[in-house]
Amino acid sequence: MSKNYVTMAHGSGGLETEKLIDEVFATAFGNEYLSQMEDSTIVCGSHKIALTTDSFVVTPTEFPGGDIGRLCICGTVNDLLMRGAMPKYLTCGFIIEEGASIDSLKTIAQSMGETAREANVLIVAGDTKVVNGKGDIYINTTGVGFIDKEQEELGARRCEQGDCIIVSGKLGEHHAAILSSRMNIENHIQSDCAPLNQMVVALLEEKIQIHAMRDVTRGGLATILKELAVASNKNFIICEDSLPVSDTIKDFCGLLGLDPLYMGNEGKMVAIVSKNHAQRAVEIIQSSSYGHDAAIIGHIENGDGKLLMETSIGGLRNLEVLTGEGLPRIC
């Protein structure tokens, strides 16, 4: 890896991204809020509010199952939900390269409107810049959500021995949908891009003992769980046979030498729930939109930040965060 140039691996959500954030941004403007490295940050005001920001640079801007418009709302909404905050307001900033079609912009804006309505959020501020280029479109959304002052904060620090690890559905679908068109592989894989309001609200209303939630985005489930294991200083143990993965995704990965554990989603979450509430939590998620394939995939033990998986053959595999871009390999 070059020390002086940004490479694509810096954008993968894995080890290189972490290093870039650490060395460039945290060094320059780190603080106690940023250093928690949760999906959004809780600060005080007259209510407790959660804040988050995300930028969206996916190409192509339209893909099976969604587009960058739907993605930029879901990504930020879900980051707020993962801290137990109710998303309320979003801002959006556009950087548009000269040559982008107005019709494309209209389609994207339409998607944003529909998804915002579905997620019960209002877009209350925005900005647009146009630069030289070849017609690409980039969007940043920043989101504000509110948290009940009495609610205990969710986060890695709350994970305990005996907690169950739940995933809300099938792995790898967003990443596979994007990659399929690039690699000339035809299938019916759709991005799972979706706002998770319904399942999170249902879990909180029933006072399920959730300790932490994370959405399973770039870097994949293994990266997210490993980060949680390290941040909580616990061992996370999962079972390969419990992982919800479609046969189509399995073979897609088999063709390209990829691993579903490291493929990103955009409409799935991991919930760390106390043992006694885990089964009920799964039922709640399964009866919500986008949660039909939810499953308990493992549990937490006291330890030192390992992520271990019992494989389908009964072996034990140690998992680390994603390194590199997760490019298809052949040889």
Partner 1 sequence: MMDLSVVKKYLREYNASDIHIMEVCGSHTAAIRKLGIQSLLSEHIHLISGPGCPVCVTASSYIDKLLQLARAGKCVVTFGDLIRVMGSTSSLSIEKGRGARVEIVYSPFELVKMAKSEPNTQFIFAAIGFETTTPIYALLLEQLITENIQNVQFLTALKTMPPVIEHLCSLSAPIDGFLAPGHVSVITGSDIFLPIAKRYHLPFGVSGFLGEELLVAIYGIVKAKDKGCVMNFYPTVVQAKGNQKAQECVQKYFVKTDAAWRGMGIISDSGLKIREEYNIYDAGSADLIEDKKSNQACRCDEVLMGKISPIQCPLYKKVCNPLNPQGACMVSSEGSCHAYYTNG
Partner 2 sequence: MCVALPGKVIKLNDTDAVVDFNGNQLTAKTGLVDIQLGDYCLVHAGCILQKVEADEAKKLAALMEEIEAFT
Enumerate residues 6+ apart whose C-beta is below 8 A from 156. 38, 212, 227, 228, 231, 232
Could you tell me how many residues of this chain bind partner 2 (CB under 8 A)?
19
Burial class of residue 95 in the structure, from the number of CB atoms within 10 Å of its CB (0-12 exposed, 13-18 middle, 19+ buried): middle
- In the list 101, 183, 233, 287, the residue contacting partner 1 (rule: CB under 8 A) is 183
Strand 122-131, strand 86-97: pairing:
parallel
Enumerate residues 6+ apart whose C-beta is below 8 A from 313. none
Rounded Cα gap, residues 72 and 162, in angstroms: 35
In the list partner 1, partner 2, none, the entry touching 119 (Cβ below 5 to 8 angstroms by class) is: none
Task: Report residue 169: phi and psi, to 5°.
Answer: 170, -165
Q: Is 313 in the site for partner 2 (CB under 8 A)?
A: no
Q: Is 182 in the site for partner 2 (CB under 8 A)?
A: no
- In the list 152, 257, 276, 312, the residue contacting partner 2 (rule: CB under 8 A) is 257
Q: Is 43 in the site for partner 1 (CB under 8 A)?
A: no
Q: Is 131 in the site for partner 2 (CB under 8 A)?
A: no
- Closest by Cα among 32, 37, 29 to 13: 37
Site string for partner 1, 236-265 (x = CB under 8 A): -------------------xxx-x------
Give the binding range for partner 1 (CB under 8 A) out of 138-146, 153-161, 180-188, 244-252.
180-188
Least distance in angstroms from the C-beta of 266 to partner 1 = 23
Q: Is 313 in the site for partner 1 (CB under 8 A)?
A: yes
Which residues, in sequence order, are bridge partners of residue 234? 302
Strand 164-167, strand 86-97: pairing:
unpaired
Q: Is 102 in the site for partner 2 (CB under 8 A)?
A: no
Give the binding range for partner 2 (CB under 8 A) out of 151-159, 164-172, 187-195, 199-207.
187-195
Enumerate residues 6+ apart whose C-beta is below 8 A from 76. 52, 53, 54, 87, 90, 141, 142, 143
Rounded Cα gap, residues 222 and 225, in angstroms: 5
In the list partner 1, partner 2, none, the entry touching 43 (Cβ below 5 to 8 angstroms by class) is: none
Q: Please say which residue, 36 or 248, places its beta carbon nearer to partner 2.
A: 248
In the list partner 1, partner 2, none, the entry touching 296 (Cβ below 5 to 8 angstroms by class) is: none
Enumerate residues 6+ apart whose C-beta is below 8 A from 74. 115, 119, 193, 194, 195, 266, 267
Residues that bind partner 2 (CB under 8 A): 180, 184-189, 247-248, 250-252, 254-257, 329-331
**Interface ranges with partner 1 (CB under 8 A):** 1-2, 5-9, 15-16, 19, 183-185, 255-257, 259, 309-320, 323-324, 327-331
